[in-house]
Structure 1
Amino acid sequence: MGQTTNRRVILHVDMNSFYASVEMAYDPSLKGKPLAIAGNVEERKGIIVTCSYEARSKGVKTTMPLWQAKKLCPELIIKKPNFDRYRSASRAMFDLLREFTDRVEPVSIDEGYVDFSEFDGAKPLEMAKSIQERLLDELLLPCSIGIAPNKFLAKMASNMKKPLGISILRKRDLPLKLWPLLANEMHGIGEKTAEKLRTININTIFDVAHADSVKLKALLGINGERLKERANGIDEREVDPDSIYDFKSIGNSSTLSKNTTSESEINEVLHKLARSVSIRMKRKDVLASKIFITIRYGNLKTITRSKKLENPIDEEADIYTVARQMFYSHWEEDPIRLLGITGQELIEKNDAIKQLDLFSFEKDAKDEPLLSVIDKINSKYGNQLIKRGVKGEKKQDISSGTSFNKDFLRE
């Protein structure tokens, strides 16, 4: 094995219709049949979470009501999600990838990056085929793989052919393969951002790549510059196997002028703290997937509590609601001296794909701001990305709560 300095070979391995595929691997009689995973299976108002390609060929789509899906495909098989099963399959998938190299970065339950740059003379296409074949033969799980010189292009390439596709995307391929696509087909651009871009006549990825940098920054802040770089095939991010340990936080605390047991005063302080944390998070374009509170009593006894969230948040009202519920669950009704709220395990809003849990799925599907998310999860329910922040100590126990949605690696 030799070392190279310039040549980068990054693979993005993206499992196809993961939840449905895991169910088919568990019960082979389902293979080749139209299958959907859905919440509220017993209710008419249930929503499709993900579905097999056989179901998609009949017109069944993610977020579609069950009654409508069954009308399109009367023979549709409906199953409830089995998250333990999916986590187990995910661990097996990443264990297999690590047999090729330790340079593996999980980014969600069903996708990750693999870096083969260190292998001098490696044949990326052959390695990708070997990974794809082994995942299918040993775990009965299909995947698509993108091969590129960086993470962004690899991610874009893996979307080009599904299921069971392998696509190569090099910088010289941009004019033909990438630039003609609509802007909202670019990783990192949701429908909301695409709407903003249309206001300055940016409609395609070509337009993003050739946009005026000053106008982009004025419209989207620093994210505008990043998107232009990506559209030109520039992405220096490393594949980081340790990103599972990464975390960031934004918090604020307030010492009260005097000890109090007044619920109205306590609620007012929690409101102010939630507002402060929300403003700072929005300034940095991040979302919190964990809320941490501090309660200090008049006798200086201090307790802290944290709550892992199903879906990341940045809105003042959401932060306040979670913090208030936590406070009143743990308050011993003694006089309070200090309160604190911290948003932890932050992820960049631009890269976050919301986990649509079964309780919020139907409500979220109706929310306009999530339309771009819904478009992105046709086959990827439960999928989300994490951005690296401040490196935590590697000795941190994964099972104690790690970066956003990395709990799929828990034992």
Structure 2
Amino acid sequence: MLVFHVDVNSAYLSWTAADLIEKGYGMDIRNMPAVISGNPENRHGIILAKSIAAKKFGIKTGESLFEAKQKCPELKVFAPDYDLYLSCSEAMYEMLYEYTPLIQRYSIDECFCDMTACKKAMGNPIAAAYEIKERIKKELGFTVNIGIGENKLCAKMAGELKKPDLIHTMWKYEIPKKLWPLPARELFMVGRATEKKLQKFNINTIGDIAKASPVWLKTVLKSHGLLIHNYANGVDNEPVTVNEEIQRKGLGNGLTYSYDLLTREEIDTELLALCERVGERLRRYGKVAGLVRVHIRSSNLNGYSHQIKLTGTIETTDEIYVIAKQLIDEMWKGEPVRAMSVSLSDLYGHNQVQLSMFDSKNKERNEKLDKVVDEIRKLFGDGSIFRGRFANTEISPIQGGVNDGDYIMMGGFKQ
């Protein structure tokens, strides 16, 4: 098998940069300290993507915009545009489809391409990869890394070796030289928790994992130990699974607030706003969720996360909110809250829906209500309709006392 792993470099930032250049912005934000972050005007949200210049200031993906601004006051901040990102992802997919129909869309900015049947037609695979890379840069305006290997694991690890805008190979004979010297944390499927367990036994590199006894690894890490032992030796028998839709592993929404949330009422109000946003995205993608996770960070920077795997699936805002409130009940210790996020995973299509844990009559009503609200916001903008609960808060653009369950249309109509 011959596999290409095509990965967009700093996808959100690159796609935003290409769009700005096309619109005559005059500067390439990839060449300056710049980030993509939620709600830049209010300094809310976290860093979603950063330029290489921003990285030199110590700015990290996942930290708050406030923290990033402390490191680089001149930082250029741009809001995400998910419709743009989807269109850029589609354009890349269409170009790759010219080379092979066997494409697995692993995420919005990653694809695996099975090039096995194309070997004779394309000749040298490295030359073909360079052709694809340069076409994407010239025709679509952004850069990619392409990893080449004899399976998906080797192709992915090759593409991660050095960025941006490069081609790398990871043939079986190159594994001892290119893969084994890397830190264990760099191996696909080795997270922080696994890394810490391995370090206790003086296993610090991918080579250490490869040379360790698979029986011992299974004793320490159960079946996961056998998986990473295979990966460390470049063994991966999983085929490229063809799919036309992007495989979204999860959806989330979070904010870092410019003020502390002091009461449970304030927390619940902001939590509902987060649930509305992530619920709208879930429904836009035609998915339902089987797992809900909530993370909060207190004003003294202590962080807490709780999650629950559901026996069924959910999709409405109210369902997400009920679960999220339960998770807050379990972990909030009464401290002032400075940041909070809600995320959904275990995503399924509607044809895979399991029985919901919520009352079917209320669920049907809420599904219809969410559909109407989603359509209004799609046509007239996010600020065109909002819950009465958000009146007299920073979430709402107007003032007024309305019952929690009511919606207000801008223009004075109550729904």
Paired position in structure 1 for 2:32:
33
Q: Give me the whole-angstrom Cα distance separating, in 2, the residues matched to 1:79 and 1:34.
A: 11
Distance (Å, rounded) in 2 between the aligned partners of 1:245 and 1:36:
24
- Report the AA paired with residue 32 of structure 2: K
Task: Note if contact 2:230-2:236 (Cα within 8 Å) is conserved in structure 1.
Answer: yes
Which residue does 1:345 correspond to in 2? Answer: none
1:36-185 counterparts in 2 under 5 A?
Answer: 36-44=35-43, 46-121=45-120, 122-185=123-186
Alignment correspondent of 1:307:
288
Higher relative contact order, chain-length normalized (CA < 8 Å, sep 6+): 1
Partner of 2:49: helix, strand, or coil?
A: strand
* Consecutive unaligned residues in structure 2, runs of 5 or more: 249-280, 295-304, 321-336, 353-415
Distance of aligned partners of 1:229 and 1:48 in 2 relative to their CA distance in 1, 3 Å threshold: same
Hey, what's the Cα distance between the residues in 2 that align with 1:160 and 1:93? 22
Which of 318, 330, 351 lines up with 2:308 in the alignment? Answer: 318
**Displacement of 1:230:** 1.1
Could you tell which deviates more after superposition, 158-167 or 198-207? 198-207
Q: CA 1:33–1:44 in 2, change beyond 3 Å: closer, same or farther?
A: same
Task: Please give the alpha-carbon distance, in whole angstroms, between the structure 2 residues aligned to 1:80 and 1:185.
Answer: 30
Change (3 A) 1:22 1:385: farther
Distance in 2 of aligned mates of 1:79 and 1:66: 11
Report the identity percentage.
Answer: 34
Cα deviation 1:377-403 (Å, max 9, x = unaligned): xxxxx9x999x9xx99xxxxxxxxxxx
Q: Which residue of 2 aligns with 1:15?
A: 8
SS at the partner of 2:182? coil
Distance 2:206 2:55 in 1: 27
| Contact 1:19–1:37 (8 Å) recurs in 2 | yes
Task: Give the direction of change, closer, same or farther, for the CA distance of 1:214–1:325 in structure 2 (3 Å limit).
Answer: same
TM-score by length of 2: 0.59
- Separation in 2 of the partners of 1:191 and 1:49? 20
| Deviation of the 1:361 alpha carbon | 12
Shift of 1:86: 0.5
Alignment check: 8 A CA contact 2:57 2:72 kept: yes
Cα shift at 1:224? 1.2
Assess, with a 3 A threshold, how the Cα gap between structure 1 residues 61 and 310 changes in structure 2: closer, same or farther: farther
User: Taking structure 1 as the reference length, what is the TM-score of the superposition?
Assistant: 0.60
State which drifts further: 70-79 or 150-159: 70-79
Identify unmatched segments of 5+ residues in structure 1.
1-7, 248-289, 292-304, 331-359, 371-381, 393-411
Deviations 1:18-50 (A, max 9, x none): 001111111113413322111242334542121
Do the aligned partners of 2:50 and 2:59 also contact (CA within 8 Å) in 1?
A: yes
What letter matches 1:79 in structure 2?
F
Structure 2 distance, partners of 1:199, 1:113, is 35
CA contact (8 A) 1:145 1:166 kept: yes
SS at match of 2:117: coil
| Structure 1 residue 167, shift from structure 2 partner | 0.6
Q: Report if aligned partners of 1:40, 1:47 keep a CA contact under 8 Å in 2.
A: no
Aligned length: 284
Structure 1 residues 179 and 327: CA distance shift in structure 2, 3 A: closer
SS in structure 2 of the partner of residue 74 of structure 1: coil
In structure 2, relative to structure 1, the CA distance for the partners of 1:87 and 1:123 (3 Å cut) is same
